[in-house]
Amino acid sequence: MTERIELMTFDKLEQSIELYMKVFNSEPWDETWSYEIAKERLFDLINTPKFFGYSLYIEDKLVGFIAGNNKKSHQGLTYYLAELCVSNEIQGKGYGTKLLQLLETELKNRDTKSLYLLTSNGGLAEAFYKKNGYQINNNRIVIKKNL
């Protein structure tokens, strides 16, 4: 199996959209992403200032990606991890961790001071991030209002 990781680019957005829908429309997320909404979300992400991400390919097939953008704060650069998506067929085999570690290494090289993300409580994603050394920030809360 030939695997490669490369910078995530706009010219391969179509593959990312298809993978995103396939992953998040199935278990354990069971969301209802349409092509149009997934396309808009990923198009907007890749066009965000200071966007940066990686795509993972096995045998020239996109099987995962990790993406977000840097933001300036009073403490320096911080990175918002907006998306981590790994094909259902290879989840649990270390590919998500590989993408996350590569991203962290590159962010350190770019003098990024911290990384943050949002995920749901108690699910597989929370367990994944905790396994990779992430902690719940008790100084922050998510506040929401339905409109």
Q: pLDDT grade, residue 142 (50/70/90)?
A: confident
- Contact indicator for 88, 26 with CB cutoff of 8 Å: yes
The domain in which residue 73 lies consists of: 3-131
CATH at residue 58: 3.40.630.30
Report pTM.
0.93
Q: How many domains would you assign to the chain?
A: 1
Q: Is residue 12 in a domain?
A: yes
Q: Is residue 144 in a domain?
A: no
* Residue type at 70 in one-letter notation: N
Q: Is residue 146 in a domain?
A: no
Is 1's pLDDT higher than 80? no
Q: Is residue 138 in a domain?
A: no
- Mean of pLDDT values over 7-19: 95
Q: Is residue 147 in a domain?
A: no
Local structure of 19: helix, strand or coil: helix
